[in-house]
Amino acid sequence: MIRTASLRPALALLALAVAAWLAFGCSKQLTVDPGRTPEGVLAADSKLIVFQDIGNLVYAKHEFPPNSGIFLLDSTFTVYNFGPGTVQGQIMDGTLASGFELLRQQSGGGFSPIKDFPVTAAVKLLSSHWAIYPFNDQPNDGSLPPTYQARGALSGSITTNSPLTNQAVLAASAVADCKITEPFLSTAHGDSLPLVQWNAVSGAANYYLQIYQYRGDIKVGSEKYVYGIPAPVAIGKVKNFFIGILPGTTTSYKLGQPGAEILINRPMIGPDHFFFRVSAVDANGRLIACSAGAKQDTVRIGTEAFLYSPGAEIICVSCGGP
């Protein structure tokens, strides 16, 4: 049995949209250039990444006989953020932008807004002034493959000085497993500043390293399933300890050392479990790989056990063991 689930409440998105429109939507909007590039200034610190909602497969098992500790596979179902085929994106921004107008390339070559309101930040990393702006789209026209660009608002308005992201092209939907490897997996347990290592991904222009934990306001275990859906970084009910952008030529990074553009870095106080994710993005701004995790995570609900990919390696830091 295959089931799908959408776990992003529409009312919350509507409230964000209304608030953003009041601050941003009434300002004069510049026309979109009939050529390939909208008005604005390309900004290295505005990085647009696109990917498809490919879901997370969950295995449902039940305990039989009761209280035996033996779990038998009952069914499987796939959990999505928005639904199969939906284009998702994340804007990683370190400029002074307060919101972003999201544009999709049309069949004639120019770009047009796809939403009546700006994209607002879901994550604000105050220590570095970076922010993460997620979005989703259901393209039914325009260029193929779907091509996006975003431009930021400065003091609530779009101007000729507005920061422009890169153009991001969703040429394919497949996302490979960016495997985190030994010796990190066996040595990180005793080190609060570990050397994270991963397999090289062909075509990677940048790697994104994220270390996080689930927040305490996750009330139902099934809320965790969406965090295993491939994405550059997990956003939502997570507490970030580290996010860094690394060049595509590297396959390792020791926390705290030079070589990464650091968006957030806070100490990991152990012993405790942390999620380590490495994602790969190509030169066209497409997510091409994301850590799946060598071990499935488990959610227990009564006599049922649900196994799912956590989208990361789960490591007990400073534990001295797994």
Task: Map out the domains of the chain with their CATH numbers.
Answer: 10-53+82-169 (2.60.40), 184-298+310-317 (2.60.40.10)
One pLDDT digit (tens) per residue for the chain, 322 residues: 335 554 443 334 444 444 444 444 444 444 454 445 688 999 999 999 999 999 999 999 987 777 777 778 889 999 999 999 899 999 999 999 999 999 999 888 889 998 888 999 999 998 899 999 999 998 877 788 999 999 999 988 999 999 999 999 999 999 999 999 988 877 777 677 889 999 999 999 999 999 999 999 998 899 999 999 999 999 999 999 999 999 999 999 999 899 999 999 999 987 899 999 999 999 999 999 999 998 889 998 888 899 999 999 998 887 765 4
pTM above 0.75, yes or no: yes
- 147/165 Cα distance (integer angstroms): 12
Which DSSP symbol is given to 186?
H
* DSSP string for residues in 108-156: TS-EEES-SS-B--SEEETTTTEEEEEEEE---SSSSS-EEEEEE-BTT
- 225/74 Cα distance (integer angstroms): 18
SS3 content of the chain, % helix, strand, coil (to 5): 10, 40, 50
